[in-house]
Chains A and B, each alone.
Chain A
Amino acid sequence: MSKEPKPVAIIMIEDDEGHARLIEKNIRRAGVTNEIISFRNGTSAINYLLGSDGSGLVAIGRPSLVLLDLNLPDMTGIDILARLKANEHTRRTPVIVLTTTDDAREIQRCYDLGANVYITKPLNYESFANAIRQLGLFLSVMQIPELD
């Protein structure tokens, strides 16, 4: 790669304010400094990711990583995942699913749709923080494929 890659933006789709705050705090503690863009509901997140026309053209030249909660007020995270993975401009964008359940069928469904990582939010805070920090480390070494 000849030119300096653009910094990757972390797009966090999480309706629970507390969860969003805790995730952000722990990512920062892991030393990740990338910009974090937060969305509280599915509609605004989709608008941002695929553009208001839904074409996905807006994603070109904008490397990003999606942190996705499955339990959203206006739609399920599964819908968002499916739409991202179905669009040719966004399907290579890594999606990390963060959710409260560890339901085997749900996990499987997410991976089938193309989720890259699935993380259960553990109730035990230590392990939760640990998981997020590891995610931060993971993010710092992760290569985001870029479309020209």
Chain B
Amino acid sequence: MLRFGGGRVVGYSLLLLAGGAVVLLMIVSAAFIFSSRSQLHGTESLRAARVDRLVLEFISDLADAETAQRGFIITGDAAYLGPYESALSEFAEDSSDLGLRAAEVGEGKAIAPEPVDELVALGRQRMDLISSNLARYRAGNFDKAELVAAMESGRALMDRVREKGAVIREIAASVRIARAAAMRDTAAMLRTMISLGVAMIVVLTAGAAMVITRHIRQIGEAREELIEINQELESRVRERTEAVMRTNDELQRYAYIVSHDLRAPLVNIMGFTSELETATERLTAYVRKVGDDDDPDRADALLAVDEDIPEALGFIRSSMKRMDGLINEILKLSRAGRRVLEPMPLDMQSLVSECIDSIRQRFAEAGAEVRIEGRLPDVVSDRSALQQIFTNLLDNATKYLKDGRPGQITVRGRLERGAAVFEVEDNGRGIAEADFERIFELFRRAGAQDKPGDGIGLAHTRMLSRRLGGDVSVRSDGENGTTFIVTIARDLVLRMGRNET
């Protein structure tokens, strides 16, 4: 019948959603990792650059000091001593900086401390030489040859400084190149990750769209199937109802013909019984008047006219009367069954309230309480048939209460798939299960026969509920009350279709 992959589709959708979330999370964390790695590379690169610059400054400090020394020695002008002092102090600063900064690069692993220490030592040697030259010059015991030798050793020292400096700068440069390359790689990887993520999101979205589309198509198909099934069901219900209605109609016609034809002979029996009575009266008068008292035949004749004939006539009359009553009931029933139904929108709440009001006197006499539970559903049906049904059921409920138990009668209703279901519940004496069908038959009654009734009401109720496209049934445990359940078509016009109006 129905193929409905709802659960599976939901599962797929959830899976896709989870997959999407995981991919996004991965992209975000990769971006985070790569960007922090990039930052590290940048920092390292900057540090290496700083070492490079410090090396240059270190050398330039030495050169400045030398220039100042040379100027002073050549001119004897003390003004050259100012730049020398400042170069000296800067040299001290730069050489300690150089050591610190070089140790920072690659956490001290990129640039070994030895070449830096050597450079600083060489520089310091050079500075010491300058200051000793200056000191000797001031003291005046500084001849030309000594000066030349000092210059020479200074130049050689300076060359070694430059050499060492170049080595360190090279290391720093290689660090920067390596870091730049690492940064490029990181950026490339980030790009790859992002494109991969985008691709996966596209795939997931496409998958989700596919699943949803399929789901929607399935829902559409299921709905169409449901509509088809509904229509089939509806037509089946209509066919069944029509069949029931036809059978009901036939029964009605049958009942009408039977009662009609039963009545004709009855007229004769009644009529001729009266004729017989009249004749008997005459005969009685005659028998009393004439004849001999000693005649034994006369005594017999008197007995016949005084007792036998009146008794027979009495029985004939009472039986006739009963039969007449029964035929009249069948006729009434058949007439009600042939009445053309007039379906119209009905407010059941007020209809049932009216029925209750119309026999309120009966409730009062029986000491019964009746109430409508909740709101009764509205229907499109025949007013008078429904009034008859509820009046019959309510009347029955009051009639068969249990002695010594205050009557409680409840009416309730609900809708059930194109049908309206009404219940009339009482707490009366109940009905034995064996009698559940019997009570709906014409002239049949159940339980103690202590109440007046012909056994018509429930037969009538059944006939009417069937005509209204439903039926009536009973529920009882046999002692604590009875519930009659009346089912009728919610919309009689719809149910009757075009067959009947």
Contacts and interface: CB of A to CB of B under 8 A. Distances in A.
Interface of A: 16, 18-19, 22, 25, 71, 100-101, 103, 121, 123-126, 128-129
Contact of A16 (B268, B270, B320): B268
Interface in B258-276: 260-261, 263-268, 270-275
21 contacts: A16-B265, A18-B272, A19-B264, A19-B267, A19-B271, A22-B267, A22-B275, A100-B260, A100-B264, A101-B260, A101-B331, A103-B335, A123-B266, A123-B267, A123-B270, A123-B320, A123-B324, A125-B273, A128-B267, A128-B271, A129-B274
A129 B263 CA distance: 16
Contacts of B331: 101
A40 B273 CA distance: 23
Contacts of B266: 123
Given A71-B260, A123-B324, A100 B274 contact: no
B263 A22 contact: no
Contacts of A19: 264, 267-268, 271
Given A18-B272, A19-B268, A123-B266, 15 more contacts: A16-B265, A18-B271, A22-B268, A22-B271, A22-B272, A22-B275, A25-B275, A71-B261, A71-B264, A101-B263, A123-B263, A124-B270, A125-B270, A125-B271, A128-B270
Interface of B: 260-261, 263-268, 270-275, 320, 324, 331, 335
Contacts of B273: 125
Contacts, number: 48
Of listed B266, B268, B272, residue having the most chain A CB within 10 A = B268
Contacts of A126: 274
B267 A100 contact: yes
A128 B269 CA distance: 12
B22 to A, nearest CB: 82
A71 to B, nearest CB: 7
A58 B267 CA distance: 34
A125 B324 contact: no
Contacts of B320: 123
B319 to A, nearest CB: 13
A100 B270 contact: no
Q: Please name the 4 residue pairs, one residue from A and one from B, whose CB atoms are nearest each other, closest first.
A: A18-B268, A125-B274, A22-B271, A100-B263
Nearest to B272: A18
Nearest to A15: B264
A121 B266 CA distance: 11
Of listed A18, A25, A123, A128, residue having the most chain B CB within 10 A = A123
A123 B320 CA distance: 9
A71 B272 CA distance: 20
Contacts of B272: 18, 22
